[in-house]
Structure formats: structure tokens, C-alpha cells
Amino acid sequence: MAALALPGSAQQSSSSRFAFADTTLLRDTLGLRFDRLFPLADSLGLVPDTLRAIAIRYRLPLARIVYLADSLQMPVDSVGPVTMRFNPLTTTVRRLTTFRYNSTYNIAQTSSTWINGSDYNFVLGALFVRNTTNITTDRFRAGGRTSLRETRSSVTEGGWKFSPGLSLGGRANLERFNSFDPGSVNNQGETKNEFQLSLRSRQQPSRTLTSELNFFSGLLDLANLQQIKRGASGDLNGRLRWQGGWLTHELTGQVSGNLALTRLPSSTENLNTRDLSNNLRGTLGLFPGMPVGFNLNYQVRRSRVESPGDSGRIARNRSDNNGADAALRLRRDNERYLNLTGRLANSDRATGSGLNSRSNTHDLGFGTDGRWTLMGWSVDGRFSNGWTRSEYPNRASTGGYGESLHAVSVEGTVTRNLTRRMVVKANGTVSLSTYRYFLIGNYPNPPVKRDQYRQSYRVDLLYNPSERFNSGLALDVSRNMLVNIPAASTAGNNESHTYRAEWRWSYRMLGGLTASQFNTLTADYLFYHFLHQNDRLSLEYNINTTLNAVMSPRFSLDIMHLTRFQPAGNYTLQPDGLVYLSRTDQSQNYTLRSRIAYTPTPALSLVLQPDYLAADRRASQGGGLAPQRQSRQLNFSGGASLNLPFAGRGRLTGDILRSYRADRTVNYSSSGVPTPTPRSQTDYWNGSLQLSWEL
């Protein structure tokens, strides 16, 4: 119905960058408002429809959803599934029974995937039971053999909620993995069982302080090709949040581990192993919403995993990650702000005593970015400066090496509305990266010390004279340099210059007929400072024309034609002492693609997609260009898309397609004799079906 609506005059946007959502109906019926929906979705990197649908589904205002995402340290679209499905303390209903089942089947030419999943939720007063089950089966066909891979998992939790802030129960985590390949003697399989007591609690000592503490402990049973581990496991995690008028601080921590008897599958001797992992994350904010604010994010993570090794020894894998980043924000409004940022991070990894088993990295950097708008000019700037030191002490049996990287970059963008219908935008970037290496012990082949320099600028001119026509021009120029420091490696020093021009336009000729075109011209010059015989020039011309026709609300047609012409050549020194450009190869590609869609009913859509590709390549021979290879390819795909209601509260959706492909290649010998290859054809069904049902 929305697609068939006539143009109206609802509320207008206050900025040309965003649209505005007329939400009077939802505001009156659900009490939800969607103020600043589009700017908020733009800043979060989400589609506005997705953000709006999340708010409607969970009956939460946009500000509350963003607050929960920030508090839980997760994406916005994960707030609902995590809080509503796995934590019984988030449920306030006294009686609830829900069951959801989803089944998806995907089939391709040589593989197929079948996914089944179910969610069950039962609440009766203080009693709750939850279960989530997922089963995935993959089949792969190659060489007349079929390989099978199956992954299964089930999480069940039940218990008693003594109060809105306390629950006690138990949970079972069951995981299975099996892989069968007829051509392999080491088919993999893994079984994991965890049976734990669960304790969940929430506290709110004051209006500004909230906390959460969860504890899980029980038995672990793990068996795979590498080890058999049985013992006790535990997991303690919590969250503490303080939100005052000028200070916000959130602290999230987790400690998990196990005490187990572990052995190799081929051994009878058990070893005492201890796995331990802890993670602490914090976010500190000062003066949120004020013109001057400060944010600090920090993390401390330790992980140690023990597994049985050879000769009755225990192999220890250790990983440490620490880091902090801070930002001082000076903000007047969205068009006038300045951010000063800094970061500090360390990581250390050890995975035994073999080669490449140890490494550590130290990272330090600072930067600034900002925007300022004055008298119609909008200026954006960014500066970053960072140092990274990495050490690899055992790249060989005799030692390793270390790397010191220093990277500096400056970027600026200027935007100006020349007229009401014309906008100009200019962007420039300069960056320099220096790589230096030092030996640790005696390592024979360290990497080459080098510098990499890049500078570029781009100018865009956009012209929108009417709603029916718009056009744009762009010029992009870049320069890259690679400088190897040692004299023995300077032969690889090179410099490349790239020039790229673009012209695009779009014109709506009729109400349902739109034509658009995108043209590019690129020249890439590559120069070697000490090997001039390798200097090269590559050109590329592209024309992409698209025609979109909407014959009726149920029938549409898209046609696209792409032309690509790529000549290239080398610079050679001639006997007269001058350097000439001689063409060495040339490629031409043509693509014609179309898509026809017909929707007779909302439950069924028919799609037809043919496309044709022609590619020709010529190479240098006898002072000229001679044919080297010709190829032709035809692809044809057609099928139906389903969206059928099923059993009242179920739905069947998916695609069923028939694909056909035929191609042939003709190769030319050095004497110009063509040698055609046999035509190759494939014809198969592919598609995806999904069945969902809710009780």
C-alpha cells in the first residue's frame, strides 16, 4: 500500500541530508515517537526501517534502545534478543507460553544446507523454562563423493524467580559437531556437555546506581580428536553502572574457567588442567551532553587454556590484551565540534614452544578530528599519528625479528553549496608509513626496511536542477611511492600516479521509466626509479548504462549494459635514445544484463534474469597486437519467490531458481591459429526455503 501511495505533503525535513517520518498513527496508538529517526539511524549505521521496527516490536522509545545498547555493549539490533530471550529477570508477565520454529533449506549446484531452529519460553508465575535449539546440516559434493557436516546445539534453562531481582535454577548446554568425508581417515567429531546451576541477580541501591551479578557452575564433559576433558566449570559475570548528572561509569567483568582431568584420546593418563579467563571492561563519561565532555574506554583481558601435549606434558596457550582509548569532545552543535583522541594498547600471545608461537604488540597513538561550518562553507579535518611495535621472537629456531611502524595521516574535506542546485566538495589526504625492523637473536631473512607515501585529492561537483534529472562530475588524483631503504632492494622502488575522471547522470523520462549512466576514465602510470624497462601505463574506460522501467505496480524491467576497454603498454628505450610507449596488451569486455520481475499476487513473484558476457584480449606480437583469447558466456536464471501464510501463525518464504550457464573460449597460438575449447554447460536448481511457525 505504501508503494502505491500518491505523492503527499507530510512533514518536511529541516535538513537536506535526511528525510522525515510521519508517525502520527504509531504515536497515538502505541505511545511511541520517532523524533530524529533518520539522523540517529545514520549515526548508528542502520537502515531507518530496521531501527523503527525494533522500537515497535519491543515497545521502547529510540532513546531507551540506544541506552540499552550502550549499557550492554552490543549492537542495537541485538538488545531485544539478548535481554528478552536469555535473562528471565527481564520478563514481567505472570503467564506465558511461546514456541517458535524456523526451518531453512538452501540448495546450490554442489552443496546444500538445512537449518532448523526452535525457541521455547514458558512462564507460570515464578516458574520459568527456556530452550533454544539449532541444528545445521551441510552437504558438499565433489568428485562423485558427498561430505557431511552437522552442527547441533541446545541451551535449556529453568528455575524459580524469587523476586524481580533474584532467580535460581539450572541450565544445560549441549553441543555436537560431526564431519564426515569419504576420502579422509581423520573425520572430526566433538561432544560438549555442560550442566550448571544458575544464579541471576539484579540490584539498584540508589536511583543512579544499578548492578547485575550472575553465577553459573557445574560439570563439564568435552571430547574431540585433540583431547578428552572432564571436570568442574564456573562462570561469574556482572555489570555495575553509575549514571549521575555529570558522571557516568559502567564496569563489566567476567571470570570463567574449569578444573578438569584431561587426556589425549589415545592415552589413559589423566592430566590436571586449569583453564582461566577474565575480562574487565569499563566506560567512563564526564559531562555527557555538555559542550565539553570526556570519554574513556578501557579493557583488561587474560586468557589461559591448558591442553594435553606430547610425552605427558601440558601445553599452555596464553593470550593477554590490554588497552584504553580516550576522547576529549568540544562540541557546539553537529556542525561545529572538535575531538581530541588517544589510544594505548598491548597484546601478548603464547601458544606453546613451536615456531611462530609467540608474539607481542604495543600500540600508541593520538589524533584529532572536527567539523566547522561558517558562511556556507563546511570544513572537516582529521589527523592521526601512531606508533606500533611488534615482536616475533621465534620465527626460526635461531631467533626472530621485530617491527616498528610509524604512521601519520592528514585528511581534509571542504563542502560548499554554490547555488541552490549545485554543490562542490573537495577532499585531500596525505599519509606516510615507515617500517623499520630489528633482529631478535639470529634471524637470516628479516623484512626489508621501507617507507610508503600516499597523497590524493578528489573534487566532486553535483548538479540537481530538478527531481527528474541529476548529474555529477568528479576528478580523483593520487600518488603512491614505495621506497626500500637498503641499497640491495632499491630496484623495487617505484612510484605510481593515478588519474580518474567520472561523469554520472540520471534522468526520469516518464513516471515509471528512468535512465542512468556512469562513465569513468582512468590512467595509471607506474615508474621504477632504477628499472625503467618495467615502467608501465594502464588505461581503463568504463560506460555503465542502466534502464529501469516500472510498467505497473506488478511488473518491472531492468536493463544494464556495461562496456570496459583496457589498453596497456610499457615504456621502452629505442636506439635513438628516446623512450617510447608501446602497447603490450588490450582487453575489451561487454556485458548485457536484464531482470524481469512480475508479482501476480503478494504471495508469489516471478523473476527472470538473463545476462551475456563477451571478452576479448589481444597481446603484443610482431610489433603489433594479435588476438590471444576470446570468450563468450551466457547465464540464464529464472524462478519464483514465495511468501505464503501457513497454518494461521506460520509462513513459508524463499526462492526457487533454475540456473543455466554456457561458455566457450577460443585461444590463439603465436601464429594466429584459433583453438576453440569445447563448450561448457551447467544446468541445475538452486534456491532457499524458510518455514517459520509460532505458537
Nearest to 235 by CA among 206, 210, 200: 200
pLDDT of residue 290: 87
Of 52, 86, 120, which marks where a domain is finished? 86
Same domain, 158 and 132: yes
Q: Which residues, 6 or more positions from 461, have their beta carbon under 8 angstroms from its beta carbon? A: 422, 423, 424, 425, 472, 473, 474
Same domain, 350 and 291: no
User: Is 687 among the domain residues?
Assistant: no
User: Is 519 among the domain residues?
Assistant: no
pLDDT of residue 575: 80
| Positions of E strands within 125-246 | 127-142, 145-163, 166-180, 189-206, 209-223, 228-243
Give tens-digit pLDDT for 100-138: 898 989 888 888 999 999 999 999 988 999 999 999 999
User: Is 271 among the domain residues?
Assistant: yes
In DSSP terms, 693 is beta-bridged to 101, 650
d(CA 536, CA 584): 10
Check if the beta carbon of residue 667 is closer than 8 Å to that of residue 85: no
Orientation angle between helical segments 79-86 and 62-72, nearest 10 degrees: 70
Give the residue, 80 or 367, on which the prediction is more confident: 367
User: Is 550 among the domain residues?
Assistant: no
pLDDT of residue 183: 73
Mean pLDDT over residues 493-522, rounded? 95
User: Is 401 among the domain residues?
Assistant: yes
Look at residue 2 and tell me whether its pLDDT is greater than 60.
no
Mean pLDDT over residues 144-157, rounded? 92
pLDDT of residue 83: 53
Range scoring the smallest mean pLDDT among 180-194, 473-487, 609-623: 180-194
pLDDT of residue 77: 62
Same domain, 175 and 207: no
What total of structural domains would you count in the chain?
4
Give tens-digit pLDDT for 97-106: 889 898 989 8
Mean pLDDT over residues 658-664, rounded? 94
Collapsing DSSP to helix, strand or coil, 40 comes out as helix
Mean pLDDT over residues 569-583, rounded? 83
User: Is 628 among the domain residues?
Assistant: no
Same domain, 126 and 53: no
**Strands 399-417 and 377-396, bridge-based pairing:** antiparallel
pLDDT of residue 15: 37
Nearest to 617 by CA among 590, 588, 597: 588
Same domain, 177 and 104: yes
Same domain, 350 and 288: no
d(CA 305, CA 221): 16
Give the residue, 40 or 115, on which the prediction is more confident: 115
Q: Which residues, 6 or more positions from 317, have their beta carbon under 8 angstroms from its beta carbon? A: 303, 304, 305, 306, 307, 350, 351, 352
Check if the beta carbon of residue 117 is closer than 8 Å to that of residue 102: yes
Look at residue 594 and tell me whether its pLDDT is greater than 90.
yes
d(CA 239, CA 402): 39
Give tens-digit pLDDT for 441-457: 889 888 999 999 999 99
Same domain, 213 and 308: yes
pLDDT of residue 315: 85
Same domain, 159 and 99: yes
Look at residue 566 and tell me whether its pLDDT is greater than 90.
yes
Range scoring the smallest mean pLDDT among 36-45, 389-398, 593-602: 36-45
Phi, psi of 489 (to 5 degrees): -115, 5
pLDDT of residue 42: 61
Range scoring the smallest mean pLDDT among 1-10, 33-42, 552-561, 603-612: 1-10
Give the residue, 215 or 187, on which the prediction is more confident: 215
Compute the half-sphere exposure of residue 208: CA atoms within 13 Å on the CB side of its CA.
8
> Which residue shows C-alpha cell 550492554?
72
Same domain, 82 and 109: no
Mean pLDDT over residues 599-627, rounded? 90
pLDDT of residue 81: 54
User: Is 5 among the domain residues?
Assistant: no
Look at residue 485 and tell me whether its pLDDT is greater than 80.
yes
Give tens-digit pLDDT for 8-38: 333 333 333 333 344 444 444 455 667 667 6
User: What is the residue-averaged pLDDT of the chain?
Assistant: 86
Same domain, 209 and 312: yes
**Strands 513-528 and 650-668, bridge-based pairing:** unpaired
Same domain, 137 and 242: no
Of 86, 106, 138, which marks where a domain is finished? 86
Query: What band does 523 get if pLDDT is binned at 50, 70 and 90?
Result: very high
User: Is 461 among the domain residues?
Assistant: no
Q: Which helix (H) or strand (E) holds 589?
A: strand 579-601
Give tens-digit pLDDT for 265-300: 888 888 899 999 999 999 999 988 789 999 999 999
Give tens-digit pLDDT for 182-214: 877 667 889 999 999 999 999 998 888 999 999
Of 62, 86, 110, which marks where a domain is finished? 86
pLDDT of residue 334: 82
Highest mean pLDDT among 59-73, 174-188, 349-363, 442-456: 442-456
Query: What band does 690 get if pLDDT is binned at 50, 70 and 90?
Result: confident
> Structural domain of residue 257, as residue ranges?
201-318
pLDDT of residue 11: 34
pLDDT of residue 16: 35
Grid cell listed for 656? 526457487
Same domain, 344 and 438: yes
Check if the beta carbon of residue 175 is closer than 8 Å to that of residue 153: yes
